[in-house]
């Protein structure tokens, strides 16, 4: 396994990174229309086509998901992805027309030092188009795609991914752009909140600090207005799930944020998680299997959040936040 979301059969990932812009786009393309839903827990989200992911809505499957920098401007990225899919004849059939279904979410990276003087139209539609055409099974982590301009309260954020086998025999994967108002690390140190879930030294094998330090009464938060942060993620499985089951998976997945980021789901964030099923393997038990897959999703997403910060490199612009590796190296 690659320890990437692409270990889930039936999907690929594409990234476009613009270091001068200090932003980028990440897209997940599905080989076949896939069932999906979404859960939004942050107070300042930026999303596209999330209403149709409700279990009672007509459209039963989607063709792609988009994560983007750029705040509201970044919502244009999904239009570029839709254009790439339309060129391939992919879309929801409406008479003779085909409409690509591409929900998405954005994070705020507009004041991170990148050149945002793009003129009348933002570049995100073109970035989305390029990301869709770059999709494949292997991709880098850190300062890449939607994670290019992402930050946490005191370190460079980034794009993270991880995968894991569920006890049910289903594969689970997570893909996340960590742009949190809070922190992925214990205050003042290199240790990750997600340490109990780490596998094979994927973010430094540091474990938890010993002894555990007392936590401050007031956590450190970015001094930015509401919505100027946001961690956005996609979790996926090869299980056969309904929209309602994907919705429950998205709800459970937010515990992965809670294990990896402190604080989270605040009025200052727009935390959003999409859950998708590529429908390769049926469930033996629709209740207990879903519970076990959901637990695996939580663990996998927590690990992906830590990997996003661990793998990041600092932006070239002066005055930007340091990367974890710049501050702590590879050992404490």
Cα-based angle 289, 290, 293 (whole degrees, multiple of 5): 85
Instruction: Please report, in tens digits, the pLDDT of each residue of the chain (332 residues total).
Output: 999 999 999 999 999 999 999 999 999 999 999 999 999 998 889 999 999 999 999 999 999 999 999 999 999 999 999 999 999 999 999 999 999 999 999 999 999 999 999 999 999 999 999 999 999 999 999 999 999 999 999 999 999 999 999 999 999 999 999 999 999 999 989 999 999 999 999 999 999 999 988 888 888 888 766 656 899 999 999 999 999 999 999 999 999 999 999 999 988 888 999 999 999 999 999 999 999 999 999 999 999 999 999 999 999 998 889 999 999 875 44
Q: Which of 144, 40, 125, 6 is nearest to 74 (CA)?
A: 125
CATH 3.30.1330.40 matches 5-318: no
Prediction pTM value = 0.96
Nearest to 66 by CA among 57, 78, 76: 78
Q: How far is Cα 237 from Cα 253, in angstroms, rounded to an integer?
A: 12
Per-residue pLDDT at 266: 85
- CA–CA distance, 253 with 259 (Å, rounded to integer): 10
DSSP string, 135-197: -BS----BSSGGGTT-B-SSSB-EEEEEEEE-TTS-EEEEEEEE--SSBSB-TTSS-BTTGGG
Mapping DSSP onto H, E and C, the string for 17-34 reads EECCCCEEEEEEEEEEEE
Q: In a 3-state reduction of DSSP, which class is residue 36?
A: strand
Q: Residue 281 class from Cβ within 10 Å (0-12 exposed, 13-18 middle, 19+ buried)? A: middle
Beta strands 232-239 and 272-281 are parallel
Residue 224: per-residue pLDDT:
65
Q: What is the pLDDT of residue 330?
A: 58
| Both tokens assigned to 190 | 């290199």
Interior CA angle at 303 toward 302 and 308, to 5°?
A: 100
pLDDT value, residue 291? 98
């Amino acid at each position: 396994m690659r320890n990437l979301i692409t270990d889930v059969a039936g999907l690929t990932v594409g990234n476009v990174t613009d270091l001068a812009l200090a932003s980028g786009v990440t897209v997940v393309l599905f080989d076949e229309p896939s069932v999906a839903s979404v859960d939004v827990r942050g107070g300042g989200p930026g999303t596209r086509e999330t209403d149709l992911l409700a279990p009672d809505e007509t459209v039963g499957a989607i063709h792609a998901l988009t994560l983007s920098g750029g705040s509201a401007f970044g919502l244009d990225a999904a239009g570029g992805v839709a254009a790439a899919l339309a060129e391939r004849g992919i879309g929801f059939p409406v008479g003779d027309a085909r409409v690509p279904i591409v929900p998405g979410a954005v994070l705020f990276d507009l004041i991170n030092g990148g050149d945002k003087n793009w003129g009348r139209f933002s570049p995100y539609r073109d970035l989305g188009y390029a990301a869709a055409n770059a999709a494949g099974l292997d991709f880098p982590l850190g300062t890449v795609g939607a994670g290019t301009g992402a930050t946490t309260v005191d370190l460079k954020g980034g794009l993270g991914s991880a995968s894991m086998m569920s006890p049910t025999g289903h594969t689970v994967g997570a893909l996340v752009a960590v742009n949190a108002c809070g922190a992925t690390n214990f205050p003042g140190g290199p240790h990750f909140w997600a340490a109990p879930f780490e596998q094979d030294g994927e973010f430094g094998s540091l474990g938890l600090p010993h002894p555990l330090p007392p936590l401050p009464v007031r956590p450190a938060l970015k001094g930015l207005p509401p919505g100027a942060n946001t961690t956005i993620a996609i979790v996926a499985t090869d299980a056969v799930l309904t929209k309602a089951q994907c919705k429950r998976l998205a709800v459970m997945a937010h515990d992965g944020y809670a294990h990896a980021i402190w604080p989270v789901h605040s009025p200052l964030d727009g935390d959003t998680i999409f859950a998708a099923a590529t429908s390769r393997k049926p469930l033996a038990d629709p209740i207990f299997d879903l519970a076990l897959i959901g637990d695996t999703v939580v663990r996998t997403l927590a690990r992906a959040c830590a990997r996003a910060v661990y793998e990041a490199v600092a932006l070239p612009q002066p005055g930007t936040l340091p990367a974890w590796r710049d501050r702590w190296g590879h050992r404490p």
